């Protein structure tokens, strides 16, 4: 565990390049669990800053997805994290339209949420796109029925 805490100090001190290289050398995908495992005991803002640096170095949908999960499920460091989540989801959809995972995530979390950052059209578009890959996705079907009225 001591080595992992040492890894976290790279981010705490702002050595994002070294932290990025370390993560890339360890290998594996970007996910909330993997980031927390490699860099434990950081706060949401520290993870956010690191992931933005990682996106700058090599923008991938998994990095955006991880960032959205951190903003959604960890202690907020900003009062309007939904707008940041919205931006990351929209950017991912624009740059990586075949990356269905973030669309599923968005409709599952925000499809019934009264404070959703996504409008009805965005949710319907995500749902239709999901059905192109998984024609029996019940959440997507429900979203289309609900918001197409």
Taking only the tens place, the pLDDT of each residue in 87-129 is: 999 999 999 999 999 999 999 999 999 999 999 999 999 999 9
Provide the angle, in degrees to the nearest 10, between the axes of the packed helices 44-57 and 61-73: 170
pLDDT(40) > 60: yes
Q: What is the pLDDT of residues 19-31, one digit of tens each?
A: 999 999 988 799 9
Cα–Cα distances (Å) from 90 to 4, 7, 36, 93, 124, in that order, read 33, 31, 24, 5, 14
Q: What is the pLDDT of residues 42-67, one digit of tens each?
A: 999 999 999 999 999 999 999 999 99
Q: What local confidence, expressed as pLDDT, does residue 52 receive?
A: 98
Q: How confident is the model at residue 3 (pLDDT cuts 50, 70, 90)?
A: low
Nearest Cα neighbor of 70 from 45, 101, 100, 106 is 45
pTM: 0.92
């Amino acid at each position: 565990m001591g080595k992992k805490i040492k890894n976290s100090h790279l981010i705490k001190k702002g050595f994002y390049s070294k932290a990025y290289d370390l993560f890339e050398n360890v290998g594996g995908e970007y996910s909330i669990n993997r980031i927390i495992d490699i860099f434990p005991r950081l706060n949401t803002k520290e993870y956010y800053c690191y992931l933005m640096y990682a996106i700058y170095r090599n923008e991938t949908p998994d990095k955006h997805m991880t960032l959205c999960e951190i903003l959604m499920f960890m202690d907020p460091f900003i009062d309007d994290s939904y707008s940041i989540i919205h931006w990351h989801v929209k950017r991912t959809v624009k740059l990586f339209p075949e990356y269905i995972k973030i669309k599923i995530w968005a409709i599952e979390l925000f499809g019934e949420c009264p404070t959703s950052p996504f409008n009805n059209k965005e949710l319907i578009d995500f749902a239709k796109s999901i059905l192109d890959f998984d024609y029996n996705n019940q959440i997507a079907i429900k979203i289309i029925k609900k918001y197409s009225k």
